[in-house]
Structure 1
Amino acid sequence: MKRQPLLLALLLSPTLVFAAEGMWTLDHPPLAQMRKELGTAPDAALLTKLMRGSARIAGGCSASFVSPEGLVLTNHHCVAECVEQLSTASQDRLRDGFLAKNRAEEANCPAMEVNRLESITDVTPQVRAATKGLSGEAFSNAFNAIKAKLAADCVGSDSKTQRCDVVDLYRGGQYKLYQYHRFQDVRLAFAPEQAIANFGGDPDNFNFPRYDLDMALIRVYENGQPAVVKDYLPFRREGAAAGEAVYVTGHPGATQRSLTVAQLQALRNHAIPARLLNMAEYRGRLAQYSRSGTEQARMANSELFYLENGFKVYKGELDALNDPQLFAAKQAEEAALRRFVASRPALAKTHGQAWAAIEQALARYEPLRTLDDQLAHGKAFNSQLFQIARTLVRGAVERSKPNEQRLPEFAEAGLPTLEAELFSAAPIYPEFEKIKLGFSLEKMRELLGADAPLVKRVLGKQSPDQLAAQWIDGSKLADVALRRQLWNGGEAAVRQSQDPFIQLALSLDDEARALRKRVERELDAVVQKNAELIAQARFAMKGDSVYPDATFTLRLSYGRVEGWQEGEQAVPPFTTLGGTFERATGAEPFALPASWLNARSRLNPAQPFNLSSSNDIIGGNSGSPMVNARGEVVGLVFDGNIHSIGGAFAYDPRLNRTVAVHAGAIAETLDKVYDAQALLKELLGR
């Protein structure tokens, strides 16, 4: 992903925002810029409709409401875990697909939560007042406490339907309170076969042309009935046209465009290479397990999919950070901001040392990184059973504290989501858990060394595989009723439990908490406080013409349906249904399901299937609606092209592209492949 000189010049500009660049908050869209570049911009009514019609799947995806009766459109890969959980050895719904012929057949997705954004409130003054003059652990404690208080006050007594998050924007430049309506009764209505939802598999991932029906329909319920949704986005069967102006409203997960050079160096030199090495080995272990049998392949399916996707993302990010031109542009951009600060004595006195403070904190953290990953973040114990045990152990202690003194994940405002996950009836497969846990224990020993105190205390005289088998065979935490009993019983019940994972979590908790506190004090608090100063300096230099890094909050991006120039080759913006059959080979991952082969003669071969646009997106945008200027859904975002991965650090308007399923292809296949007439009628508003 080499950067051309033109892009380098654009990156070096201290004030210019590229055409179509930006993941903008809906309370601060660049309307004048959009009118200039697109000839149109949403008015206040449309912005409200887009906010209320968009949705967030709490596990990490985007979606949209597409009917007044709670029907929600998202990606297949965003519901794949639910489809996997609803499958059995005799009925593989990932392989065969799922269609509810009526609402009585819609199947509950364990622990899935859908959020709808209701309001955004600026709480920057409250957060600043609470943390003023503090540093280190005092800063962290006050920061967490004020966020917990603001969220709890926002939720009030209605935690079952309300969710509130204090969101850090501009790396601490602003703090906003996002209030959501939460839907925790989510049911699957339709999902195609994985073979067509992920047609092309890993070879085609982050590439274009694409031929994927990466879509699914779920429905949100309240009080046992389909939720009544006033604001939804109409579905336009004709879909998007070449050159058409389009908006994407979704929840991009994270970008790093405003990180300091020191932070980017830490990612490039340490964090990302370590992740890639571990993921590559883990992928090999999972692939080997998947090949050992049909049932093993089914159990590992989702884990392997997300792992391969993540590996490609991190590889693309590392390639971008290793691009000398891009990194030089980042260095020059930071240097320009630091010169601006230095030229203003008052600003230099209060803000001038922020970059050095972050660099020094990162250097102090580096010797702790591996132990922090393995112990505090629990990567040494990769098992759902251990995560359940740690939640039970910590929850017993944290829930006895005042809300504002708890670890953030146990604050009152977030407990409904945590409890839904803890008491999920999703199956846990012991043999698969042994594979995952054995590997992670093996990596702990490798990374920390056989003589490390943690390794010796955990493994004793046993091998990782022996210990994993012993713990998993001896645990009863797969029993939801037992988990509920321990949760309700509090600290006394947890400490009396003889479950091996509870005992493990108890034995590690003091050390893990101490390490977490140290990292919060020496790294997180320093970075947060000084990032606030850098954000303030950036505002002083550029004003409010900048957008914040992605934070898994609702954003709007704008662009046009268009392809791009890849070297000497022009990449057109559309693929067709007919092209899918030409690309098919009959062998995975290019094998079409029988339903498609049987329907070939009924399908319109010229119907656009997937499309590309110049919208600026990143991971988390999966499932985002692509809408036209009237707010009608004309596409369903499911990916970006390979250049968009580098968009974590910079946007290239010539190369970065969003990839979506064309609305016409969704309607055509629901009609002619799946005979999903009731859902299609509802989707089309008939």
Structure 2
Amino acid sequence: MWTLDHLPVQAIEQQYGFTPDAAWTDKVMHASVRIAGGCSASFVSPTGLVLSNHHCALSCVEQLSSIKKDFVKDGFLAATPAQEVRCPEIELNRLDRISDVTNEVKTATAGLSGAQFRDAQNAIKARLTAACVGDNKTTTRCDVVDLYHGGRYDLYQYHRYQDVRLVFVPEKSLGFFGGDPDNFNFPRYAIDMSLLRAYENGKPAVVKDYFPFNPAGAQEGELTFVIGNPGRTQRLLTVAQLETQRDISLQHLLLNMAQLRGMLTQYSAESPEKARIAATDLFYVENTYKGRLGQLQALQDPALIAQKQQQEQALRAFVAKDPALSARVSGAWDAIAKAQTVYRDIEPDYQTKEIGIGFNSQYFKIARMLVRGADERARPDEQRLAEFTEAALPQLEQRLFSTAPLYPDFERVKLTASLTKLREILGTDDPFVKQVLGKQSPEEVARQWVAGTRLGDVAQRQSLWQGGKTAIAASTDPFIMLARRVDPAARAVRMKYEDDVEAVEQKNAELIAQARFAQLGDKTYPDATFTMRLSYGEVRGWSERGHEVPPFTHFAGLYDRATGAEPFALPPTWIAAQSRLNPQQRMDFVTTNDIIGGNSGSPVINRQGQIVGLVFDSNIHALGGAFYYDPVSNRTVAVHSGAILQALQYVYGADHLVQELTVPDMH
């Protein structure tokens, strides 16, 4: 997962005979984009057409749907540009520039610890991002990126697209064919794709760099590159931090996800409309549960922990041999271990009050944004919570004023379940629980709050946002009153976490990074940070229990796998199109590229910079990829470029999109 300004050029050239020069790398950077909510994508035409996954556009598709027009079930195709529909919340980011700001950040925090370290780091990040954005915050986004856990800090400048429109998405039964049983497995038979379009000034964006489609796709053994934004890896964490993940964080997350899945499944069974409303949440929960379970199983493998212990001991031994380095660094591991003890003590309060396990409702999330926004925007930019700095406000406001529908009954059910969870975790006699529930049950307060709120009205949210602290203080909306009431406790535990856990981890991880650089130089890549990375690999299957798993599946296998019952039911369009499709057309394939969550929607390109596939999953072996990469069995799963073109042409009659996708890149 290499950053584009530090590619292992010699290693790629030695293994594959290809040198990614500056011009190639620059094009790759500008042709790739990030979906700010958590996916990757790429430009695939000079008029702003964007390729990503079905599941990356699912929230938009659901938000544009209704009981009368269910685009999740039936798919969506804009036959003309006029029919392209704006997504309420999707923001695209195109990376334009990377600047090293390590000296600025480390100078600002030198000699500081705890709250002073946190405040100084937040302040310098706010200053750097504000200067980077300037007067162009509607079209420019800037983030200070922590690499190597504080070993290096870079300033990433993006071009921001907030007018993003839906062009095409297949039926969910095809985009997620095989459902949860096939998820993180292979063979796969899904066309997990979507087409969006970036607009500027009301017109399709004109882009210089994009990836044209190669209909033939990659061949077995061929070099492939994945360019995307892997979310978070923990490959460089200390053993103490990994033990916290194994023993506390993942255990509690999985328990919560399992209970949420049960609630959502029950709600979905009550009617087709409730199933439609809950579909996006249920997909997220099922996907998260399976992914995190794989991570937990990886950390429960004694061999992995032994390997991490051996690596840590070797680094500590290296430090001990250098008196000057030892004086600076040797206490870092113990300090981080102590911070884990602090986290274990505050974890129930932090997760329920600040992270929001206790208040699972869009109404509450909106109320918290409004309440905290009123407080934070009254402060100097450098003193605000990170999510309320001037540079961060455009994306926050896009979410806050989203026209996506809210469903009161669904919000009531989710809130009831989460308030019950709040009481379960903290206890009936906890003062915070009493403050929230009083003498009422979770069902009673959830019903009253949802019935009394006006936060489903975008105009009401805008009025409260514009009215600032005065409007918030005067509001009698039950969710605004709740957010006001619980915010002191939530802020207090957040500050405790940031001062005594996060700041300690960050400060001491910087020291460990210095030791690692002294030992290895910069010949290793940093942990993933949901910023652009390049992975190189090749199309290759693997061995599973003595059997070879071929790298490709074909359309013929899709029809063989179909049973007519979900999640293996084909939509009518595919049943009707069977005779028009080439049964030997490659459909999905696997590569040795190194990916993690966040890479969904990443383009798979060849050395010519052509699309040969679209990342949408990994195999089950790669679920431990948060902690290590194993080229023997870890595999990326992608949709074949030829399958996408055939589906568009012969199933959906979208010849105009096929023509646009195959426009050759003249640059």
Same fold (TM over 0.5): yes
- Does the residue aligned with 1:219 lie in a helix, a strand or coil? strand
Deviations 1:303-330 (A, max 9, x none): 0001000000110000000011111101
- Does the residue aligned with 1:685 lie in a helix, a strand or coil? coil
2:566 to 588, 609, 612: 588
| Aligned mates of 2:541, 2:309 — CA distance in 1 | 31
Residues 1:512 and 2:490 aligned together = yes
| Aligned mates of 1:577, 1:467 — CA distance in 2 | 52
The match for 2:108 is 130
The match for 2:531 is 553
2:195 to 217, 225, 232: 217
Residues 1:274 and 2:252 aligned together = yes
The AA in structure 2 aligned to 1:136 is G
Matches within 5 A, 1:302-451: 302-451=280-429
> Structure 2 regions of 5+ residues with no counterpart?
none
| Aligned mates of 2:306, 2:49 — CA distance in 1 | 47
1:609 to 573, 587, 603: 587
TM-score, normalization: structure 1?
A: 0.96
The match for 2:126 is 148
The match for 1:623 is 601
1:465 to 416, 440, 443: 443
Deviation, 1:662, is: 0.2
Deviations 1:551-576 (A, max 9, x none): 00000000000101112010000000
Deviation, 1:467, is: 1.0
1:79 to 54, 57, 71: 57
The match for 2:168 is 190
Deviations 1:136-166 (A, max 9, x none): 1000000001001100000000000000000
| Aligned mates of 1:387, 1:636 — CA distance in 2 | 33
| Aligned mates of 1:626, 1:560 — CA distance in 2 | 10
Deviation, 1:365, is: 2.1
- Does the residue aligned with 1:143 lie in a helix, a strand or coil? helix
Residues 1:643 and 2:597 aligned together = no
- Does the residue aligned with 1:115 lie in a helix, a strand or coil? strand
- Does the residue aligned with 2:391 lie in a helix, a strand or coil? helix
Aligned 8 A contact 2:145 2:154 in 1:
yes
1:251 to 218, 229, 232: 229
Aligned 8 A contact 2:357 2:421 in 1:
no
Deviation, 1:41, is: 3.0
- Does the residue aligned with 2:55 lie in a helix, a strand or coil? helix
| Aligned mates of 2:354, 2:568 — CA distance in 1 | 41
2:481 to 489, 503, 506: 503
Residues 1:299 and 2:260 aligned together = no
- Does the residue aligned with 1:279 lie in a helix, a strand or coil? helix
2:213 to 213, 229, 235: 235
- Does the residue aligned with 1:368 lie in a helix, a strand or coil? helix
The match for 1:9 is none
- Does the residue aligned with 2:392 lie in a helix, a strand or coil? helix
Deviation, 1:67, is: 0.5
The match for 1:161 is 139
| Aligned mates of 1:457, 1:418 — CA distance in 2 | 28
- Does the residue aligned with 2:608 lie in a helix, a strand or coil? coil
Aligned 8 A contact 1:41 1:629 in 2:
no
Aligned 8 A contact 1:245 1:559 in 2:
yes
The match for 1:175 is 153
Deviations 1:514-535 (A, max 9, x none): 2211211111111100000001
Aligned 8 A contact 2:137 2:391 in 1:
yes
1:455 to 411, 433, 439: 433
| Aligned mates of 1:376, 1:193 — CA distance in 2 | 37
TM-score, normalization: structure 2?
A: 0.99
Deviation, 1:39, is: 2.1
- Does the residue aligned with 2:196 lie in a helix, a strand or coil? strand
The match for 1:6 is none
The AA in structure 2 aligned to 1:455 is V
> Structure 1 regions of 5+ residues with no counterpart?
1-22
Give the aligned length.
664
| Aligned mates of 2:439, 2:229 — CA distance in 1 | 47
- Does the residue aligned with 2:34 lie in a helix, a strand or coil? strand
Aligned 8 A contact 1:240 1:561 in 2:
yes
Aligned 8 A contact 1:38 1:559 in 2:
no
Deviations 1:234-282 (A, max 9, x none): 1111111111101000000000000000000000011100110111011
- Does the residue aligned with 1:570 lie in a helix, a strand or coil? strand
- Does the residue aligned with 1:62 lie in a helix, a strand or coil? strand
Aligned 8 A contact 1:389 1:505 in 2:
yes
- Does the residue aligned with 1:667 lie in a helix, a strand or coil? helix
Matches within 5 A, 1:277-288: 277-288=255-266
- Does the residue aligned with 2:483 lie in a helix, a strand or coil? helix
The match for 1:121 is 99
Deviations 1:660-684 (A, max 9, x none): 0000000001000000111111111
Deviations 1:582-612 (A, max 9, x none): 0011100000000000000000000000000
| Aligned mates of 2:532, 2:187 — CA distance in 1 | 28
Matches within 5 A, 1:92-103: 92-103=70-81
The match for 2:40 is 62
| Aligned mates of 2:40, 2:558 — CA distance in 1 | 26
Aligned 8 A contact 1:449 1:455 in 2:
yes
2:90 to 99, 106, 112: 112
Deviation, 1:90, is: 1.1
The AA in structure 2 aligned to 1:178 is Y
| Aligned mates of 1:474, 1:100 — CA distance in 2 | 39
Aligned 8 A contact 2:52 2:601 in 1:
yes
The match for 1:535 is 513
The match for 1:12 is none
User: Which moves more between the two structures, 231-240 or 487-496?
Assistant: 231-240
The match for 1:47 is 25
The match for 1:5 is none
- Does the residue aligned with 2:518 lie in a helix, a strand or coil? helix
Aligned 8 A contact 2:67 2:273 in 1:
yes
| Aligned mates of 2:291, 2:481 — CA distance in 1 | 36
| Aligned mates of 1:279, 1:218 — CA distance in 2 | 30
| Aligned mates of 1:175, 1:355 — CA distance in 2 | 21
| Aligned mates of 2:139, 2:89 — CA distance in 1 | 15
Residues 1:30 and 2:8 aligned together = yes
1:667 to 601, 622, 645: 645
Deviating beyond 3 angstroms after TM superposition, the runs of 4 or more aligned structure 1 residues are none
Deviations 1:74-103 (A, max 9, x none): 000000000001100011110000000000
User: Which moves more between the two structures, 59-68 or 372-381?
Assistant: 372-381
The AA in structure 1 aligned to 2:159 is H
| Aligned mates of 1:595, 1:478 — CA distance in 2 | 36
Deviations 1:112-152 (A, max 9, x none): 10000000000000000100010110000000010011000
